[in-house]
Amino acid sequence: MFVSARSFEEYRSMFSLSESDLSLRILDCPGGAASFVAGAGERGVDAIAADPRYGPDRKTLGTLALRENEHKHRELLEHREDFVWTWFDGPEQYTRLRSHSARVFDADIRTRPERYVDGALPDLPFPDRSFDLVLSSHLLFSYGRQLNEDFHRRSLLELVRLSRWQVRIYPLFLHLDFKRYPALDRMRAMLAEYNVTSRVERVEYAFDPGDQEMLILECAERSALPQDEPEPASGSGSYDPVRWRHLESPARSGGLP
């Protein structure tokens, strides 16, 4: 699986992030070598990334993404007509922006290591409802040929568990297959059983043909999930790898933002 390095601006466009969305506490999973969290930090946005590659080899990820960019650049030059050039204006700009993004990621993971948490779906190391908004790009649905339906079901429920408001997932197409993840409707029906409503929205971002939709899951009114943590005994704390801003402020009501 590629370790890609999408930028803060790509995330804004893939997930239609408004200024109001960016005032929330955000999880990016999988973060890969994307510079969303770094760009968020520069703008004072409270964001955390999680990825299984943030273990002991985390400092090699930026270099790996740069190498993958070089490989991708050759592919883009050879197959230019297979991609949509409305968001990027061509292979040169694509590679320049992605390489810049990998470098921004690399600097940020070194200077703010606490923002990058080693964790893998479907079991992430955060307490229930740790974030307001959860973003997930280029893993679920994209790798639907490699990751089975049970993984998707458990991962979707895990992302829902962590969100107090919404989960947004992009894209809905299978990687290199240019058609929608075939079990999407089944996943949406499964989520509806937990009172998680969902809708597909068109986004401005475009690159792989057809990839112009995201799925939004509304989590505020969800019912209990199989993996919800038991209520902690009073006075005991659960694992909390960073300082959770929202735990220090008065609780927000369901209808964020």
Ligand X SMILES: C[S@@+](CC[C@H](N)C(=O)[O-])C[C@H]1O[C@@H](n2cnc3c(N)ncnc32)[C@H](O)[C@@H]1O
Judged by the rule CB under 6 A, the positions of this chain that interact with ligand X are 1-6, 29-30, 32, 34, 51-53, 120-121, 137-139
Which is closer to ligand X, CB of 95 or CB of 220? 95
The CA-atom distances, in angstroms, between 209 and each of 81, 86, 171, 203 are 10, 11, 11, 13
Which is closer to ligand X, CB of 32 or CB of 144? 32
Which is closer to ligand X, CB of 30 or CB of 144? 30
Q: Cβ 29 to ligand X, closest distance in Å?
A: 6
Residue whose Cβ sits closest to ligand X: 32
Which is closer to ligand X, CB of 30 or CB of 39? 30
Up-side HSE of residue 135: CA atoms within 13 Å toward CB?
27
Which is closer to ligand X, CB of 46 or CB of 51? 51
Q: Cβ 166 to ligand X, closest distance in Å?
A: 17
Which is closer to ligand X, CB of 31 or CB of 220? 31
Q: Please state, in angstroms and rounded to a whole number, the distance separating the CA atoms of residues 83 and 95.
A: 14
What is the identity of the amino acid at 3?
Answer: V
3-state helix, strand, coil in the chain (%, to 5): 35, 15, 50
What six digits make up the tokens of 131?
A: 């974030």
Which is closer to ligand X, CB of 5 or CB of 47? 5
Q: Please state, in angstroms and rounded to a whole number, the distance separating the CA atoms of residues 44 and 235.
A: 31
Q: Cβ 118 to ligand X, closest distance in Å?
A: 10
What six digits make up the tokens of 137?
A: 């790009």
Q: Please state, in angstroms and rounded to a whole number, the distance separating the CA atoms of residues 53 and 63.
A: 13
Q: Cβ 163 to ligand X, closest distance in Å?
A: 16
**Cα–chain-centroid distance for residue 231?**
27
What six digits make up the tokens of 25?
A: 């506490």
Q: Cβ 167 to ligand X, closest distance in Å?
A: 14
Phi-psi region of 210 (alpha: psi -120 to 50; beta: other; left: phi over 0): left
Q: Cβ 233 to ligand X, closest distance in Å?
A: 30
Neighbours of 254 (CB within 10 A): 10
Q: Please state, in angstroms and rounded to a whole number, the distance separating the CA atoms of residues 199 and 213.
A: 10
Q: Cβ 94 to ligand X, closest distance in Å?
A: 13
8 A C-beta contact, residue 25 and residue 92: no
Q: Please state, in angstroms and rounded to a whole number, the distance separating the CA atoms of residues 29 and 140.
A: 10
